[in-house]
Amino acid sequence: MTVHACLSRRHVLGGAVAFGACGPLLVACGADEDPPAEVPDAGTQLAGTSEVPVGGGVILKNQNVVLTQPTKGEFKAFEATCTHAGCTVTSVSTTITCSCHGSQFELADGSVTHGPATAALPAVKITVDGTSILTA
């Protein structure tokens, strides 16, 4: 049965996927991921400003939010669900990375810098109140 699903998927992809690579492809897109958390309601405290590194960011998995600070004092927030196939993004350095298939997103606007994702991470409205970052 798995073979039929694999062949069917291979045909859909125009034969580009070798038989041996089909299994891992299906696993990588599998349903083992928990559904993403909902972005919190307005007024919810997300983090302290000191928790978000300049030129980097943090992933708040329980709140499905990525907070970034592209330049000192400039904070941005995005949904943490990758727009490619729905994994939660996995790391933030100079870009936001989803290790499921290698997509990368810009810290400043969530735009795609490396596929396979083609759509930006949706922005989450935030406000900074003193040293607290809250949803807006």
The verdict on whether omega for the bond into residue 35 sits within 30 degrees of 0, i.e. cis, is no
Q: What whole-number distance in Å separates Cα of residue 83 and Cα of residue 15?
A: 25
In which element (H, E) is residue 129 found?
strand 126-129
CB 100 within 8 A of CB 85: yes
For the bound state, the minimum distance from the C-beta of residue 79 to ligand FES, rounded and expressed in Å, comes to 12
Among 39, 47, 65, 117, binds ligand FES (CB under 6 A): 117
Q: According to the binding rule CB under 6 A, does residue 106 interact with ligand FES? A: no
CB 80 within 8 A of CB 88: yes
Instruction: Considering the complex, state which of residue 49 and residue 91 has its C-beta at the smaller distance from ligand FES.
Output: 91
Q: According to the binding rule CB under 6 A, does residue 65 interact with ligand FES? A: no
Q: According to the binding rule CB under 6 A, does residue 92 interact with ligand FES? A: no
Q: According to the binding rule CB under 6 A, does residue 84 interact with ligand FES? A: yes
Q: What whole-number distance in Å separates Cα of residue 1 and Cα of residue 117?
A: 30
Instruction: Considering the complex, state which of residue 10 and residue 101 has its C-beta at the smaller distance from ligand FES.
Output: 101
Q: Which residues are at the interface with ligand FES (CB under 6 A)?
A: 82, 84-87, 98, 100-103, 116-117
